Structure 1
């Protein structure tokens, strides 16, 4: 191809890409603008192929530094290394390098009247969990999220408990960092919390030595899947074995102390020894669930866990109460929960 013609085409394409790139940086998304930038991007690549073919010999000399001093021969590898490092930093979202992108994002959001709120996830990997199937539970906290406790477990399609995938360590051991106050200072101590996660504890169905279904002293069946209680958005990674030919359910129970409302007041159940006595109560625990089919496992499908009910307000039984009309802010502890099994 004629070099002069090719050069003029490249200049025009570069000017279009420059203009569309600047426009895309400062104004909100436009399909027409994005199409323009994309098409001319492909044209630029195609034109560059012809440019390289037409100038392969001088380009080879530029890159290799043929007949140049030793220092100048390192010029091309040095530039290449800088570009690779920059691309690597941008791709992996290194804050310093992504400042330019973030500034443009703020400009576009401002024009749309939006505010972008970044959030990070705490990853809790239960490395001692056993099984051939990997479970990833991603939870984004809601506006009412403070310091809730969690249990995640596996059931068969009929609702029979199979095993626990994750349990907050303080519930697994019944040992709380702020268990008792001694001379004005908090110390860790055993504290029985049957009201915390009653649906899970009754499903598990194992009584401790004091007759409660809440675990005590790191029970062996859940020791490998007990972990730190998340303090914000989190991803829990656990393992278990599934029958690839059967349907299963993944369940999650969450509870947060002292989140009373107009119905679940401090004196709602005055004759309840736990609710009006030793318990750290408020609104009852909430239960989320989703079904996992053999096809979901094969296709690595993401499933959204849905709120299906609540537990007993003081943990007296393991019933699932589907009437959520008296639940208010507790529904805002969780914004969303997404499950992936593979």
Structure 2
């Protein structure tokens, strides 16, 4: 019996240690299903161990289930539970320090009618992108697509979605490379974000600093690049990707916005950069991959 108690006690201590470590990882690092799964499953096992612990030590614990200690315990537990559910501003500030934006941060759906993308940086700020397929969209061979955020200086902030074949999305790929290069340079300069700042007052690598109204009142951009493989015409063996853009301004919030065509992707030899050029007669069917694209923002 004594050995069983010791075993349960050691298991309680070791399991609790794993839960503490996984809990800290879940708070300070971006969301990971492995970390969350480890923390949750260990939690279930911990419940079983607590049951065994109480069972083996019930006589000693029974003395605590009475008087002022019992009332105080339930009062503190009820108070903390209420605070964590209600989440007043001080609690929200603590949660806001976390790098874990949640498992349900985004959801992507695609069918023969087009694409729907949900992005929820916080429960109070929800973005929904609806792309209606054009007449040249091929459901059996879906177009390659990337969706990302840019700041006022046109630097990539965060990729929300990208197809597997990223080589067919040169404009977005170049933006990501420039972002990674700037981020590396910033880290080498002890975290001073020099290359991404440009003219914008926002020079953070945290996407929430651009998206959330309470953190930023400056406009930012939501971008879409789309490309259909094998859509050659008289001018191109394979037509270039098309780029669409919306400017989002939290200072003047609107619930609905329609994406505007920014242009087609082309490499500028002099600037050594991928640019967007407004379509000319050389681009044909690529203009009809997307019929329309609508952004809906829910702000609570």
**What TM-score range do you get, normalising by the shorter chain?**
0.3 to 0.5
Give the TM-score normalised by the residue count of structure 2: 0.44
Which of 1 and 2 has greater Rg? 1
Higher relative contact order (CA 8 A, sep 6+): 1
Give the TM-score normalised by the residue count of structure 1: 0.39
